[in-house]
Amino acid sequence: MIEANIIVITLISVALLISILRFIFAEEIYTKILATNLIGTKIVLLILLSGTLSIEKDFTDIALVYALINFISTIVILKYYEDKEKCNEYD
Amino acid sequence: MSMIEAILLILGGVTALIGTIGCFKFKDFLSRTHAVSVVDTFSTLLIILSLIIHNGFTLLSVKLFLILIFLYITGSTAIHVLTQAFLKYSKKEIIK
């Protein structure tokens, strides 16, 4: 179990690096919000995997809270930009 | 070390990597949402299922199951809302 855990943590870390590059080189705001969602999902998975590696078993609660904050942040950033686009339409 | 847990875990990691590479390589926004949905549904399912099998029937498994249900509902909702906003407000022409 330990070896498979380390392999999967490495794979997800490489994927995290690629999604950060996607965030940096995105052309429009919608792709950036999509990359933020992707990074948040991957960090939840990383917290869960490192929780099984260590002796502490309380990492699951932290992952649950992180998933909640990820969803709220996506919706709120999107609502902010949607209102901005609406204001630009009425001008 | 159980064989089933390791296979599920490695399949989940490979799926996450494939979805992210797809999100990097696709040209269109709507194609990118497809690649991100693979990570949101398939990868989380495989990895959390493997952790649930590893832990057995405990309180930790119930929490992991709750995280799985929560990620399923919110990930799909967030991408749906994002796509609706893109279709409504984007300046680009969409090929139909």
Q: What is the pLDDT of residues B15-45, one digit of tens each?
A: 999 999 999 899 888 999 999 998 989 999 9
Q: Report the alpha-carbon distance of residue B64 to residue A83 in Å, rounded.
A: 36
Q: Which residue shows structure tokens 């929560």?
A: B70
Helices (H), chain B: 3-25, 29-38, 44-55, 59-89
Confirm whether B96 is domain-assigned.
no
d(CA B48, CA B45): 6
Q: Where in the sequence is the domain holding B30, given as residue range(s)? A: 3-89
Contact B13 A8 (CB under 8 A): yes
**Residue of chain A minimizing CA distance to B62:** A60
Set of chain B residues whose Cβ sits within 8 Å of the Cβ of A85: 89
B43, B71, B82 member nearest A33 (Cβ): B82
- A75:B78 CB<8 A: yes
* Straight-line distance from the first to the last Cα atom of chain B, in angstroms, rounded to the nearest whole number: 50
In a domain, B18, yes or no: yes
Nearest CB neighbour to B17, from listed A5, A14, A28: A14
Percent of chain B residues past pLDDT 70, beyond the cut: 93
**pLDDT of amino acid A17:** 94
Domain count within chain B = 1
More confident residue, A57 or B78: B78
B94 in a structural domain = no
Q: Is the dihedral of CA A61, B16, A43, A29 positive or negative?
A: negative
Structural domain spans, chain A: 2-90
**pLDDT confidence of residue B92:** 66
Q: B82 and A45 in contact by Cβ < 8 A?
A: no
> Which amino acid belongs to residue B44?
T
Of the candidates B83, B68, B16, which has an alpha carbon nearest to the alpha carbon of residue A19?
B16
Environment class of residue B43 by beta-carbon count within 10 Å: exposed (0-12), middle (13-18) or buried (19+)? Answer: buried
Q: Is A62 on the interface with B (CB under 8 A)?
A: no
**Among candidate residues A39, A65, A90, A69, the one with its CA nearest the CA of residue B24:** A39
Confidence tier at B96 by pLDDT (50, 70, 90): low
Q: Does B89 touch chain A (CB under 8 A)?
A: yes
